[in-house]
Amino acid sequence: MGKRIGIGLLGLGTVGSGVAKIIQNPNGRNPLVKQVELVRVAVRDLNRPRSVSIPTSILTQDPQSVIDDPSVELVVEVMGGLEPARSLILRAISAGKSVVTANKAVIARHGEEIATAANSAGVYVLIEAAVGGGIPIIEPLKQSLGGNKIKKVSGIINGTTNYILTKMAKEGAAYIDVIKDAQNLGYAEADPEADVEGFDAADKIAILSGLAFGGPIERDKIPTEGISNLLSRDIDYAKELGYEVKLLAVAEKFQTNQTEGKAIPLAVWVRPTLVPSEHPLAGVSGVNNAILVEGDPIGEVMFYGPGAGAGPTASAVVADILNIAGISAIGNSKNKLDPLLAGSSWRNCQLEESRKFIQKNYLRLKTQDTPGVIGKIGSVFGDHGVSIQSIVQFDSQENDAEIVVITHEVSQGQFVDSLEKIKGLSEVKGLAAQMACI
Amino acid sequence: MGKRIGIGLLGLGTVGSGVAKIIQNPNGRNPLVKQVELVRVAVRDLNRPRSVSIPTSILTQDPQSVIDDPSVELVVEVMGGLEPARSLILRAISAGKSVVTANKAVIARHGEEIATAANSAGVYVLIEAAVGGGIPIIEPLKQSLGGNKIKKVSGIINGTTNYILTKMAKEGAAYIDVIKDAQNLGYAEADPEADVEGFDAADKIAILSGLAFGGPIERDKIPTEGISNLLSRDIDYAKELGYEVKLLAVAEKFQTNQTEGKAIPLAVWVRPTLVPSEHPLAGVSGVNNAILVEGDPIGEVMFYGPGAGAGPTASAVVADILNIAGISAIGNSKNKLDPLLAGSSWRNCQLEESRKFIQKNYLRLKTQDTPGVIGKIGSVFGDHGVSIQSIVQFDSQENDAEIVVITHEVSQGQFVDSLEKIKGLSEVKGLAAQMACI
């Protein structure tokens, strides 16, 4: 047992307080928790009442002073937001201090810059809390699944939208009512855009896909569609056809033969998606998250649990702190890193354009209620090589009918082209809804 | 990049061959796979045809010579069985070599002896493949969940029995028919006792509980009941009441206030168990495994995937190999271990006797089909403080009726005592079945 490792905590909100509580109450936890100590804590407001008691002497409003404090060996960033978080992380790295962060936005956008800086400074930047709340998923991708060729990572990685979708499905409630309820319960933020438009999920799948496939990807190029336009009617139709609707984030290797040394082509996307009821992701409800990883030779493994919240996220932050405490116990020379824990890039990844994706599709069309409509729609798809799994007329009022189509796996380019033709049919009044399907 | 780490492989059966294939084909996997090399392989029969090609020059029938070979730095034991596996593992440790093993039987019975030897020799013994096949569960318990006070670990950790139960539930088939079918398909061994009587699951829950609660437990004291006496009729009744029947292995901390420094009291058991249909473990079918971990502050997380098979198990073995390769890249001095990866015991655990367990119970009674039977049974339970969740008469032929009772959570001592009284009632012809319920 060496001396304790000094932690500098940046941020004392719900996650920061959760981390402090664990460190202050080590009994019954891994004994390594006793080997770390909170030595400096940066807060926004010194006088705000808090759920943890921290000695005033270690509180400060100046996060830079926390990083610069010589008693701080490890910087834990749980402030959130892009700046000053990014600059503070880089400053800690420059000072030769390892960093633990829960900041998915910074890592998704500046992960490469940060990883490069960390590797040349010989320090770790660990990010277990950035994806999936308490669920161990970063570590498994970096370490436990390292013997596999990963084929696909897919998951429900935003708790807010999954709560909303679960509620819409159970109660047939409208999006607008459920979002208000979620805001009142604290499951959605006052400005829910990052969650409901899929941006948060896109941040997270960018991070997961970088780890799974070994190279950074361009976050801003991920095709992203949220749930704010979703109607409960489509959730109901999906259910009748044997599916649940989930906001899925997917990163998948293209099936093309890959030339060794060339960038690996990936399909990465976030979309509302029909998931077959018997699929392991279909049963993931409420604010839970789940991530399914497919690899060779492992097959499919799934990681499931609370995707957000102070306790689970703090658990993930502490896991990273312990990893660093564990490895410091070896007393290694500063600049040699465990490459598995550091988890740097080892090949180039390239996002394919979405027209090349091979996917199943759900769509709902408003049409005239006249004979032969289904036949015409089917013919257009057939002409474009789009194979249909099912085509069902659901509802008709006066002259209007609703036709729901689920395709087999088809090239999205062909699908989009055929859809344009279908929208041009005189019997078709409009495209009412469109989702992915797995 | 230092020189490659020499692996000595003991056993080249399905798992050993799977490991060799991964090491021989590193492209597309974590780059650290290229840093390990198979240098010696012990097999039982030099001339047996194999699915991997290994140079004859590195094959031997003498496992001790593999361990003693100076080019072997890491010993991978995938022979299975208690001896000579245990002695070979200890010999490797004495030689100052880390060990990776998939051997749950050895670790469940001799884990403490092996861990003590490894810690004093300053080497690692890693066991990811011993539980849950490819599912990362050992590492999460040792590392990713280290900030938590673990309350409970429960799971479906034997693929053979889960295959049998799934098939019995789907097809209403009898145990005896399904076991034959499972044997023909290679899902059950010719002598299926270790699986179907729950011994394999007991080995695994002993290991998980040691990691989750921080101290070794006495494997032989775990109350264990298998599925060989289970009738499909009880699976059907359970289903009608909203439950699936699973062979559960559970390790749970007693709710009593624990005195710091004293042994922590645990309820550990393996039994056929009714699991509510909406419970995450209920949907785990076929040869899949799943482990649910409850802790503070994380809440519940679940790990799901293929619980056996060459590919998944090899994936777990390679994960451990990579962990050791990663940590050797730091170039640490031999006797300093990362305590998180080494994962030694840090408190004492004590198995409570099963009469003290607080559990729900399922039982099926054969009774006379006369009025008032249900009332009498209910009264006896009531007199013993056993609270009933449901009591249903399912079937009656001539004078016989079948009564199925599900209790609330009750002390098993009280339950067993009341059951004795009930068996003595003149209207009760016998206890036809009994299971746990969660």
Bridge partners (DSSP) of residue B365 are B403, B431
3-state SS class at A150: strand
User: Residue B97 in contact with residue B73, Cβ under 8 Å?
Assistant: yes
**Chain A nearest-CA residue for B309:** A298
What is the domain-level CATH number for residue B369? 3.30.70.260
Q: Which pLDDT tens digit goes with each residue over A387-430? A: 999 999 987 777 789 999 999 999 999 999 999 999 999 999 99
- Cβ distance B260 to A312 less than 8 Å, yes or no, reads no
User: Residue A88 in contact with residue A125, Cβ under 8 Å?
Assistant: no
**Chain B nearest-CA residue for A126:** B144
Confirm whether B412 is domain-assigned: yes
Tell me how far CA of residue B140 lies from CA of B13, B210, B302, B375, in angstroms: 27, 13, 11, 49
In a shared domain, residues A291 and A172: yes
What is d(CA A176, CA A185) in angstroms, rounded to the nearest whole number? 15
Element housing A431 (H / E): strand A428-437
What is d(CA A351, CA A178) in angstroms, rounded to the nearest whole number? 34
Residues of A in contact with B323 (CB under 8 A): 143, 340
In a shared domain, residues B100 and B75: yes
Work out how many domains chain B is built from and give that number: 3
* Kind of pairing between the strands at A349-351 and A400-407: unpaired
The partner residue sitting opposite B146, judged by closest CB among A312, A322, A331, is A322
Residues of B in contact with A326 (CB under 8 A): 143, 338-341
- Cβ distance B303 to A302 less than 8 Å, yes or no, reads yes
* Kind of pairing between the strands at A98-101 and A243-253: unpaired
Tell me how far CA of residue B382 lies from CA of A63, A315, B248, B358, B421, in angstroms: 62, 43, 28, 16, 12
Domain span including residue B408: 356-437
- Cβ distance A145 to B128 less than 8 Å, yes or no, reads no
Residue A414, amino acid:
Q
CA angle A166, A168, A171 (to 5 degrees): 100
What is d(CA B198, CA B196) in angstroms, rounded to the nearest whole number? 5
Tell me how far CA of residue B160 lies from CA of A285, B185, B204, in angstroms: 29, 11, 14
Tell me how far CA of residue A248 lies from CA of A154, A227, A269, in angstroms: 7, 11, 8
In a shared domain, residues A186 and A299: yes
Confirm whether A341 is domain-assigned: yes
Q: Where are the alpha helices (DSSP H) in B172-270?
A: 175-185, 193-196, 199-213, 232-240
What is the domain-level CATH number for residue A90? 3.40.50.720
- Cβ distance A331 to B333 less than 8 Å, yes or no, reads yes
Q: Where are the alpha helices (DSSP H) in A257-343?
A: 310-328, 339-342
In a shared domain, residues B316 and B292: no
- Cβ distance B336 to A331 less than 8 Å, yes or no, reads yes
> What's the CA dihedral at B417, B419, B421, B427 to 10 degrees?
180
- Cβ distance B329 to A336 less than 8 Å, yes or no, reads yes
Is the model more confident about B262 or about A123? A123
Confirm whether B18 is domain-assigned: yes
* Kind of pairing between the strands at A264-276 and A98-101: unpaired
Confirm whether B351 is domain-assigned: no
Element housing A233 (H / E): helix A232-240
Domain's final residue, options A297, A321, A349: A349
Pick among B128, B151, B301, B320 to test the A interface (most A CBs inside 10 A): B301
* pLDDT, average across residues A71-100: 97
In a shared domain, residues B187 and B272: yes
Phi and psi at residue A156, in whole multiples of 5°? -100, 105
User: Residue B273 in contact with residue B363, Cβ under 8 Å?
Assistant: no
In a shared domain, residues A415 and A397: yes
The partner residue sitting opposite A297, judged by closest CB among B18, B145, B340, is B18
The partner residue sitting opposite B319, judged by closest CB among A144, A311, A327, is A144
Is the model more confident about B256 or about A32? A32
Report the 10 Å Cβ neighbour count for A240.
10
Residue B92, amino acid:
A
Phi and psi at residue B153, in whole multiples of 5°? -125, 125
**Residues of A345-374 as b/e, b for ≥16 C-beta within 10 angstroms?**
bebebebeebeebebbbbbbbebbbeeebb
In a shared domain, residues A193 and A290: yes
What is d(CA A183, CA A58) in angstroms, rounded to the nearest whole number? 34
In a shared domain, residues A420 and A325: no
What is d(CA B219, CA B401) in angstroms, rounded to the nearest whole number? 40
* Run means of pLDDT, 10 residues per run, chain B, 438 residues: 85 95 96 97 93 94 98 97 97 98 96 95 96 96 96 97 96 93 87 96 97 95 96 95 98 77 91 96 94 97 94 97 93 78 90 95 94 93 95 83 95 96 95 96
Token pair, residue B425, equals 């009632």
In a shared domain, residues B162 and B291: yes
**Chain A nearest-CA residue for B214:** A30
The partner residue sitting opposite B340, judged by closest CB among A148, A280, A322, is A322
In a shared domain, residues A94 and A151: no
Write down the pLDDT at residue A1. 45
B281: left (phi over 0), alpha (psi -120 to 50) or beta: alpha
The partner residue sitting opposite A311, judged by closest CB among B30, B299, B340, is B299
Confirm whether A244 is domain-assigned: yes
In a shared domain, residues A157 and A123: no
B190: left (phi over 0), alpha (psi -120 to 50) or beta: alpha
- Cβ distance B305 to A298 less than 8 Å, yes or no, reads yes
Could you tell me the pTM of the whole model? 0.95
Catalytic residues of A: 204
Token pair, residue A170, equals 């159970």
Bridge partners (DSSP) of residue B8 are B40, B75
What is the domain-level CATH number for residue B162? 3.30.360.10
Confirm whether A40 is domain-assigned: yes
Kindly state the DSSP code that residue A215 receives in the 8-state scheme.
S
Confirm whether B285 is domain-assigned: yes
Phi and psi at residue A321, in whole multiples of 5°? -60, -45
- Cβ distance A323 to B340 less than 8 Å, yes or no, reads yes
Residues of A in contact with B214 (CB under 8 A): 30-31
Residues of B in contact with A314 (CB under 8 A): 147, 297
Token pair, residue A178, equals 């459920």
Confirm whether A141 is domain-assigned: no
What is d(CA B3, CA B6) in angstroms, rounded to the nearest whole number? 9
* pLDDT, average across residues A115-141: 96
In a shared domain, residues A105 and A47: yes
Bridge partners (DSSP) of residue A404 are A364, A392
Residues of A in contact with B123 (CB under 8 A): none
What is d(CA A108, CA A129) in angstroms, rounded to the nearest whole number? 13
Q: Quick check: A382 pLDDT over 60?
A: yes
